[in-house]
Amino acid sequence: MNTPNATKSQLIVIGNGMVGHHLVEQLVEQGATEHYEITVFGEERHLAYDRVHLSEYFSGRDADSLALSTAEYYAEHGIALRLSEAVTAIDRDKSEVTTPQGRYAYDRLVLATGSYPFVPPIPGNDREGCLVYRTLEDLDAIRAMAETANTGVVVGGGLLGLEAANALRGLNLDTAVVEFAPRLMPMQVDSEGGELLREKIESLGVQVLTGRATQEIVDGEASRHRMVFQDDKVLETDLIVFSAGIRPRDDLARDCGLEIGERGGVVIDDRCLTNDPAILAVGEVALWNNSIFGLVAPGYQMAKAAAATLLATASGSQDGSFKGADMSTKLKLMGVDVGSIGDAHGDRTPGARMFRFLDPIKQQYRKLVVSSDGKRLVGAMLVGDNSYYDTLLQYYANRMDLPEDPAALILPSSEGAPTLGPDALPETAMICSCHNVTKGDICATLDAGAVDLGAVKGETKASTGCGGCAALLKSVVDHELEARGVEVDKSICEHFAHTRQELYDIVRVEGIKTFSELMEKHGSAESHRLGCDICKPAVASILASCFNEPITDAAHIPLQDTNDTFMANMQKNGTYSVVPRVPGGEITPDKLVVLGQVAQKYALYTKVTGGQRIDLFGARLEDLPAIWGELIEAGFETGHAYGKSLRTVKSCVGSTWCRYGVQDSVGMAIQLEHRYKGLRAPHKIKFGVSGCTRECAEAQSKDIGVIATENGWNLYVCGNGGMRPRHAELFATDLADEQLYRIIDRFLMFYIRTADRLQRTSVWRENLDGGLDYLKEVILEDSLGIGEELDRQMQTVIDAYECEWANAISDPEKLKRFRSFVNDARPDPDIIYTTERGQLRPA
């Protein structure tokens, strides 16, 4: 019998998953170690790790990078962490738990045992190669089995099933998903959303079989297994992963006589207490109000309530309760957005009214479920675009009155997805669901003396969970501070008491050309004079935008991040990409041959990108100068794929070849790419030039879009693709070539002068007072009288252009940086490759 310190109450936590660890953090933060000697048992050998991002284990992350804490954290706070030690029994009469290593006494006990994957009772489900997807050990087993497999099947088409399918796909297996329900993710999406989700998943190369019940698994003829379905159809595969839902791990609770729900789960009350007042339960093992919560945020809220219960008992000073949790979810599965809010199916709301929007071209589906009187949002569903999620969630969570036309909330608009300003949110608005922080909590923290975002985070823990609320939190804090008459500090960082725009003006007006001079004259910190990861790259961008000196010069190189330092994008295995410029997507056969020869010589992976370039991946650091030497000799230039600068100008073939083309779009694209190559900006910039209104170059999804007309060119601005797509807006029509250049010159320079750091043109446009009309006044009408100044500034950048790689390989001092180890010329031995589809890729 283990007999720990008897001066404190003995608290045992069974389970070291995400919720169990969060409980420990809550106990530490609230001073529980003064009252309890805490022992934590973890069945796995790993410290608590992030199961939400478990699939990233297959894309390079290891157990340490997924870990939520360290052994030192537990030791520092006097908590005994016993990993690889499973509790096998609870003796409530003796207040003891038993493990293979011994018996341990407790005064209070918390069950945080989580759940286990449900494996359907199918004959043959225990064959070799039939696995589950739940823990790091499970993933190790899947990876090992995949080494001798060509095909894999996931049984289960829900959230975890699609995560597992993505993992198999990442292991280069031909992958299929088998789902018993008639659609994927049946709990989150309806038939229309499910069909769209199927299309998007199948477009990624994953076979989807819905409405299939597996009757048995037997020996296959061409593969290891044969799955026999209810209609006698079969599917052969080498590997099967069961991911058909979860069940609470309540066996310890059952065996010791705790109250268990009819369908499993340890019954708890609002304080997370079981029917034994000495025992609590949290997370997926707990059944509250006949509900099991399979998401991490409700588990965290239970942990907070359980900590309050334990401390109320120990000190009489605290209390708390769990009142249930919203199960709305915003997911990205295999790169596909899926969102579900409230009663997304409308089957729990009498008289519910539905609004639906389906765009089969963009593959987006949105659905509103509204109360019978049309005043309240009771549910919503999104597939293909989650940019509408945050606003809809606020309407739902805070029971806010809907606009007169609710459909406007999901219909496409030139302004993008609708947004709610901080002033429109009520005090009850949930800002951070991970830590259950409302707008009212934030206001109370500010009223209690918090004066900045960091203080609010420290007090409330908002945005310290998944981080998805960071932007909303900042806007609420800034708005509430200003409403209280507090001047909001918009300094770029602690080293400069200026915004990016103010720093740009200082550099331009005073002609400052180095970071050290700027720091000496305008730095606000007396220490750390070298700056930080915020101000250094921001100032580097400003200096390059103003003067376009080589970023590899000795005065500028300390400011650059890894990608700019080595003028190549670092890849996940430590190698780099080589991306030569291909203006307008036009390339000669001779240059194509050179690219092939270089890729062959240096064993590089080659990819034709959506930006009409050929990217070469897998270059070792020490090989970069030699590779670029050969490319520059063949007439290539750097493509600036590593920089916040002009990336590409995409074009169609235009009037040169196309029978619909009305202007030479390729020629214009080449002119524009050469004009603005090397232009550094707050964020990357992409152009598109289409030779007619058929828009084959997708110009209206770019920062700068140019579309040919019979009379010249139409100019569109401030669009972008990516995570939050936005259509560009028509800015000027029927422009001659020189008019087009001048307007783009002024537009880009005004953007560079006034945008915040790392701000795309689309976001900049949305934040401009006066919007597009204001931009037209400044650029087209020269309302500020700065047009000629903007012209001169752009011409300075154009005249100063120099290929950064050509500059670097001509300077022996600059070439010294291109080695993996400072004190050793050997290549990095940790870079390992494997072969896929005839090319190398990271192992």
Residues marked as binding for [4Fe-4S] cluster?
652, 658, 692, 696
Residue 16, both tokens: 């070291």
Q: Cα-flanking dihedrals φ and ψ of residue 73, to 5°?
A: -60, -45
How far CA 464 is from CA of 62, 256, 467, in Å, comes to 22, 37, 6
Distance from C-alpha of 138 to C-alpha of 237, rounded to nearest angstrom: 19
| Residues in contact with 330: Cβ distance below 8 Å, sequence separation at least 6, in sequence order | 337, 338, 339, 386, 389, 468
Q: What is the number of other CB atoms lying within 10 angstroms of the CB of residue 645?
A: 23
Q: Which helix (H) or strand (E) holds 404?
A: none
Q: Residue 649's Cα: distance from chain center in Å?
A: 26
Sheet holding 96-99, edge to edge: 89-91, 96-99, 102-105
Distance from C-alpha of 399 to C-alpha of 302, rounded to nearest angstrom: 24
- Kindly provide the b/e burial profile for residues 586-603, where b requires at least 16 CB atoms within 10 angstroms of the residue's own CB: bbeeebeebbeebbeebe
Distance from C-alpha of 120 to C-alpha of 75, rounded to nearest angstrom: 41
Binding residues for siroheme: 696
Specify burial of residue 769 (Cβ count, 10 A radius: 0-12, 13-18, 19+): exposed
Distance from C-alpha of 729 to C-alpha of 725, rounded to nearest angstrom: 13
Q: 621-625 contacts: CB < 8 A, separation 24 or more?
A: 621/566, 621/575, 621/576, 621/818, 621/819, 621/820, 621/828, 622/818, 622/819, 622/820, 622/825, 622/827, 624/566, 624/567, 624/568, 624/576, 624/578, 624/818, 625/808, 625/809, 625/815, 625/818
Distance from C-alpha of 692 to C-alpha of 661, rounded to nearest angstrom: 5
Distance from C-alpha of 550 to C-alpha of 810, rounded to nearest angstrom: 12
Cβ atoms of 367 and 344 within 8 Å: the answer is: yes
Output the CA angle 66-72-77, nearest 5 degrees. 120
Distance from C-alpha of 589 to C-alpha of 607, rounded to nearest angstrom: 17
**Amino acid identity of 471?**
A
| Angular region, 324: left φ>0, alpha ψ -120 to 50, beta rest | left
Distance from C-alpha of 437 to C-alpha of 466, rounded to nearest angstrom: 13
- Kindly provide the b/e burial profile for residues 220-243, where b requires at least 16 CB atoms within 10 angstroms of the residue's own CB: beebbbbbbbeeeeebebbbbbbb
The owner of tokens 């560079």 is 752
Q: What is the number of other CB atoms lying within 10 angstroms of the CB of residue 713?
A: 22
Q: Which helix (H) or strand (E) holds 647?
A: strand 646-651
Binding residues: 652, 658, 692, 696
Cβ atoms of 532 and 493 within 8 Å: the answer is: yes
165: helix, strand or coil: helix
The sign of the torsion formed by the CA atoms of 620, 621, 622, 627 equals positive
752: helix, strand or coil: helix
| Angular region, 346: left φ>0, alpha ψ -120 to 50, beta rest | left
DSSP secondary structure string for all residues of 774-791? HHHHHHTS-TTS-HHHHH
Distance from C-alpha of 545 to C-alpha of 550, rounded to nearest angstrom: 11
Q: Cα-flanking dihedrals φ and ψ of residue 509, to 5°?
A: -70, -40
- Kindly provide the b/e burial profile for residues 382-408, where b requires at least 16 CB atoms within 10 angstroms of the residue's own CB: bbbbbbbbbbbbbbbbbebebeeebee
